Structure formats: C-alpha cells, structure tokens
Amino acid sequence: MTRGNHRQEPPPGTTTQPPAAESTTPADVKVWIQKAVEGDVAAFGELYRLYAETIYRYFFYRVKEDSETQDLTAQVFLNAWKAIRRYRPTEIPFLVWLYAIARNQLINYNRKNRVRGNYEGFGETEAEQVADASTGTDPLRAALRQSENEALVRAFERLNEEQQQVIYYRFVENWSHAEVARAMRKSEGAVRQLQLRALESLRRILEKEALEFDFGKTGR
C-alpha cells in the first residue's frame, strides 16, 4: 500500500453500480427516500447508485486504498439499509445522514488499524474531533448537525449533489478549501465558486419561503 502525504486519485470504475442518471431531480430523490424508508429495496438501490461514488471519495481521500475504500463504502450502505426505517427526512438531509454513518465507520476503521499497528496518525484525530465536537458558532453547521431547522433541511435537499458535498465538507466537516478540492478533484478556485453558488441557492430557496437565516458567518 502506498503511503505518505501524496494523495492518489481514485481509480475509475470504483463503484459496483452505474451512477444515477444525470436527469435525476430532487423530487425523484425524495420519492426514493420515502419508499426506502418503507422498505423498498429497489428505491434504496437508486439511492445507492446516486450516492455511492460520493461516499467512496469521502473514504478514499482518507484511506487511499481502493479495496479498503470499497469495503468501507459497502458497509456504510449496509448500515444505512439496516437503519433506514428510523431515518426521518424532515430531521436531517439524507446525504448528511450518510456522511454521519461514514464518519463513524472511518473512526472505527482507524481504531482497528491502530490496534493492529497499522495506524499512521492520519484521519482519526480529525474525524473524532468532528464527531465529538459541539456544533460551535457557525449557524449553518449547527442547523445541519442539530437538525433543528426543518426549512434548511428541505433547502439543502434541493441543492444538486456537488453543492451538497461542498456545503457538507466546508461547514459540517470543517475542511479547508484545499482539502475539499482534493476530495472533489477540483481546483480551490472552483470549490470557492461552488460554495458561493451553493450558499446563494440556499438563500434564494429560503427567501422564497419568507424565512430568515443568518448566513453572515458562512460565506467566506
């Protein structure tokens, strides 16, 4: 296994299922989520096809080994399926819920590696800090992690997948622009523009509902 500070790019074809069609709409996702909560395996399969690559990249940025990343990704969706009936769409965005499962999986993975003597000090400290930290002062992070703002949850779900990713990485995981750029295979400038567009989209969605939300600390 190649180690060191250099980050490899994930090899092509890293998921066992083809990605969901580009024409997928938020309404489609909402229907799949509801059906999955009701026990529909096919609907959950659509969610897997939509989000598997995203979760894979979350792990690959941290683990770097394709086979282990594949296993971790599969375990996340297995755990998600086992818990899907307890998922409440109005309480937390589905992608954030998946990321929370992935974060816990990463922590467990690093703990096991440390016990085996394979731990290299990358990933666990940061992941555990994220998992254990309070929501802090950032209003967007607090709302998404504490799930107290149903309107924000609905707005977040209406963003496209890349916008959801950049919002999650920046304001929930608290990654730097450089870290997000590596994980999403984009330039830092592209990530900054994507973040601005995502925040503006959230503003517009919330304004349409005549709701106020303080984005003052998030638009940096």
Least confident segment among 13-27, 39-53, 58-72: 13-27
* 149 pLDDT more than 90: no
- What does the DSSP 8-state code read for residue 84? G
Q: How many domains does the chain have?
A: 2
- The widest CA-to-CA distance across the chain, in whole angstroms, is 55
pLDDT at site 86: 92
Q: What's 174's domain CATH number?
A: 1.10.10.10
The whole domain housing 53 covers 22-120
Does residue 154 share a domain with residue 183?
yes
pLDDT at site 84: 95
What percent of the chain has pLDDT above 70?
69
Mean local confidence (pLDDT), 197-207: 89
* 128 pLDDT more than 60: no
The predicted model scores a pTM of: 0.64
CB atoms < 10 A from the CB of 95, how many?
A: 22
pLDDT at site 145: 54
Does residue 96 share a domain with residue 157?
no
Does residue 115 share a domain with residue 38?
yes
Q: Read off the pLDDT of residues 157-178 as tens digits, 9 standing for 90 and up.
A: 888 889 999 998 898 888 899 9
**Domain endpoint, select from 93, 120, 147:** 120
Crossing angle, helix 66-83 and helix 94-116, to 10 degrees? 130
Q: What's 113's domain CATH number?
A: 1.10.1740.10
Does residue 70 share a domain with residue 136?
no
Cα–Cα distance measured from residue 95 to residue 93, given in angstroms and rounded to the nearest whole number:
6
pLDDT at site 199: 93
pLDDT at site 211: 53
Please report, for residues 104, 111, 121, 148, 165, the alpha-carbon distance to residue 125 in angstroms, rounded to integers and kept in the order given. Answer: 12, 10, 7, 27, 22
Q: Which residue has the higher pLDDT, 122 or 183?
A: 183
Does residue 91 share a domain with residue 26?
yes
Q: Read off the pLDDT of residues 44-56 as tens digits, 9 standing for 90 and up.
A: 999 999 999 999 9
Half-sphere exposure of 49 (CA within 13 A, CB side): 16
Does residue 80 share a domain with residue 142?
no
Note whether residue 135 is domain-resident.
Answer: yes
Cα–Cα distance measured from residue 78 to residue 72, given in angstroms and rounded to the nearest whole number:
10
